[in-house]
Structure 1
Amino acid sequence: MSELILLQANPSSPADWVLFWGHFHPLIVHMPIGFLLIAGLLEIDRLTRRNSVSPHTITLILFWSAVSATLACLFGYMLSLGGGYEEETLSSHKWEGIGVAVFAWLAWSVKSENLGRIFPFAQLLYLPALGVSLVLLLAAGHLGGNLTHGDDYLTQYMPETMRTLAGVPPKQKEVKFEPITDVNQAMVYQQIVNPILHSRCVQCHNAGKSKAGLRLDSPEMIKKGYEDGPVLVAGKSTASELVKVCLLPEDDEHHMPPKGKNQLKESDIALLTWWIDQGAPFDKKVSDLKVNDAIRPVLASLGGGGPVENGGVQVASGPAPDSPVLTMKVPAADSKIVDELKKLNLLVLPLSKEQNQLEVSAVNAHTFNDAQAAELPKLSNQIVWLKLGDTEISDAALGQVAKLKNLQKLHLEETNVTDVGLKQLKGLANLEYLNLYGTAITDAGLTELAGMKNLRTVYLWQTKVTEEGIARLKTAMPKLEVIGGISEQAVADFVKVGESKASEPKK
């Protein structure tokens, strides 16, 4: 119930002081909720148990409930002037909120006997007025939650049996994105851009909630833009609002996502920038677009799977396709164990129809953690590709990963693993590909890799390794391809290249 009153937005831009006070609405709105609920509970207690409750106490509570409900209406109106709310829901929310204030004032007038002096039978209106105000309070609170969080906020996790009894439509299937096994063949929008938008932007820009008139849940809606015009300009990322608002300081009121929400990572912004500069295509593969030196490492961190050529420039290389672990005979995986992993939102995919080797990916399970990693060794024979990038795992999980004796490819990018965890991987004799992008690995951790004879490729962008450490590793393992050479500052400079040119977004 973080929102109670939001009135229809005025087309003209409101003054800053109006929006300032409007932002107090979420604070004020909880006061009438508390006051009215207390008044209702005291009256129920008085009627059912015949307890003596001072009429003055209830009158005082009702007075402040009416005052705070009125203030919530006022501040809600100011907040709504900023726009970005679904009109029909906003209208219903408005009148329900006004009803709360009106019936709260009516209940107070009767309880205080002010109205009784004018109308002899006014006392008969007291309980109905209080009851109606409570019902409207719940209804308005529900719609306020819908306006803020989306129309399925309360029912999003409702069990199917309860949905059937309540007449709520079946739960929509969670959006699943096809994992990237070969970055060169990845569909740029569907497999790279769309997952970024869904994880950071679609919560506030969807069919049920389209702030600023913008929806980012489909190519058609993205092309349509928002209330002030196009959200992207194909070929010009620095002129595209989609990028400009992400580059604004986080304290800026126009920065997106808003402060307090999950922010886009620098690599996310880099990918969006590259996509727009390449014309913002919705039906192209990575191999169809030009890959520059700045975006190459970011793309490569998304997945390997074989040499990827783009404009004559190698983008990434993964394990050799003729690796022995990909052709060896292993027993079929237990379907019950596979189902257990899928319940953790992990993708479990066969590498081929002929073999039983599996890829397990946490692309849709960013909350995957050390405790859940204990389920992985149950498929120690079958798992050969494991993608745990951008999850909550740490060194503790690598003790379980070390039990996957046939593991050939391992993604640990942007996790909390350290040098300590790498020590546990020394026994993975078949490991050929290791992605450590964006981790806290140092030169000390690289020494742990020296004994892994089959390791062919390791990614080290945005780690704490030094050029000297990389040189020592290459000396120890001449055939190892060590891909690093781009610092965190280099990526930051790339994604912010247009920030000085970006004009302030329209209000």
Structure 2
Amino acid sequence: MARYPKSLNFLENLIFVWFGFALIITVAGSSIQIPEWLQVFGRSHPLVLHFPIVLLLLGVCFSFVPAIEQNPDLKKLAQFIWIIGINFAGISVLAGLILSQEDYAGETLNLHQWTGWAVFIIAAVLYFSKDYSKTFLKTGSLILAVTVVLAGHWGASLTHGETFLLAPIIPEEPTQTNLAEAEVFKDVIQPIFQSKCISCHKEGKVKGKLRLDNVKEMIKGGKSGPFVVGGNLEESLLTQRIHLPLEEKKHMPPKDKTQLSEEERTLLTEWVKAGAVLDLKLHEVDSSSSLFKLASLRFNPEPVYSFEFADLDQVSELNNYYRTVEPLSPESPALIASYFGIAAFDPASLTDLEEVKEQIIQLNLDKIPLTGIDLSFLKSWPNLETLRLNFTQLDESQILEISEIQTLKSLAISGNKLSEKSIEGLLEMQKLRQLFLWQSGLSDEQKEKLKKGLPRTKIEFGYDDRGIIYPLNQPKIEQEKVLFKDSLEIKLSHPIKTVEVRYTLDGSEPDSLESPIYQNPIWVNSSGKLQAKAYAKGWISSNSVSSIFMKSGISPRDRKLLSQPSPNYKAKGIETLFDQVKGKNNHTSGEWLGYTDEPSWIEMELDPSTKIKNIGLSLLYHESAYIFPPTRVEIEFFENGSWKKIINEQPRQSTKIKEIRSDLIQYKVENRSPEKIRIKLYPIASLPSWHPGAGAKGWVFVDEILLN
């Protein structure tokens, strides 16, 4: 034991060496160039840090053992363990500070760094004041133990995620997103990032200055460029890196990490190819695309029914002006029966459905007066899963009959007053997964009783309208095509049948007073832009939804490009602008002319007898891919031997990144007969400061010119 004093003296002095180096890195780390050999030392931090944790916690335990003070040899051993632990703590702090210079940042890093410093300093203070006071030593040891645990917790959060420690005891919320509600980014793409990418690109650890745990940060990209450029696989860092050979240094994920599956790689690639839209619903994706086919497999598939198909002629005969009976899908034998039209309803007609009762999985009788009608026959329908009886004036006995249907998974009886006995009947429906009880006259106590009695059922009670106002969702626009010859039918719909849908056809924002109310399908015979909003008393109006419609125009006698598009986006040249084919919402589809270095400049020669009233320009906007509205539109007419500029306007510019979309700019030209027309579209020269690519050149994309 005689060798301990000299060793202790050396180790005590060594503490101040680690303290000095660590202080220099802490104060001036950002301005110091760390050599590569020292980076190797920094990366030993995860290895070294286990030694101080064990040794210091062992030293803490020794502080509470009185017998150690009575035994000189044990006392020297405890002292030696303390000093070794403190030195390893100093080494760990120094290595950690060096490692933190490699793409680590954020609040979690700061917490881990300063608690690590605290462990080093508290341990050193306790060691050098060990003979000062036993109470001080014991109190300080407890503080040290807590600080060690906190430093370890935040270190684990950096490497494994914030919920790593408590994940086994935190119950996971079950997610049951279905295909109709799924969003491509949130429900398909983001989970891939979370499982394969987040560990290196998150708050606290930001490899390549790229964060994927925050959408805004993801859009900014990293130090090597934009993470995704919608529709451009070559410029998107994501698709560049995931397709590199595994041996390449820049391949992502790194070869020592869990790799993307072939399906995941394809999903990411197809998402970028489709525009990398952040709020795109899966059902809006082309069902024939690889993106839809692969993504749709991740959600609850349509149920497979084993019963036989009903006779098609029989089903057809059941359809009339007050009732529809239709398949769940073309490939499914399951049927959905719906009644509408109160005046036309005949209770006896319900018995007609007995012929196909085996195939009916859903019956819709919303707002049909059912008072006094015997509904017991529904108990014999073997596959009835969904029953919609909202606002049908049900009485207590009818609700009790319904509660005995054993196959029901979803029941909607909103707008029917429920008695205490009716509630007892509903409590017997333990197989229900959804129960809708809006405006059912229930007290808070009755609602709580239903919640407790049906714990596995999602119950919707609606809202009580006591100062809480909810926004409506957008109306839905249905139109067969965008480009048409003579006329086009457009339909609007909304899932809440009582709302007012108001619309405009000139691209202006609809209002709740002056804009026409949608009642019947709209027929249009000229180009324009429809905007629609939903309104209802007690609700916030919906956001507007828009759609363009374009009437095919006059074909010029001759046409030519006075400026050439980018070689990557040249489509079919000048013919692209007059082929009567509307380009898809994807600038890589080969149907668009793209310009960035110079304006798009087109010249057309017309028949002298042609009169022009309106000029329309079909454009594509996608801010994520640097595609903006033109900064200026110039239109010139050649009349009476000279060129005259008749349009010189600046379209409204984008103010934020939105989804990829088509737009139509129209100009009225007073029924003129020019010999020639020139149109010039100027791309934005410098992207605005709010854009991740601020200062870069923008693009103009055009696919049709409409002369009417």
Q: TM-score, normalised by structure 2?
A: 0.36
Larger Rg: 2
Q: TM-score, normalised by structure 1?
A: 0.48
Please state which structure has a larger fraction of its residues in helix: 1
Q: Which has the higher contact order (CA 8 A, sep 6+)?
A: 1
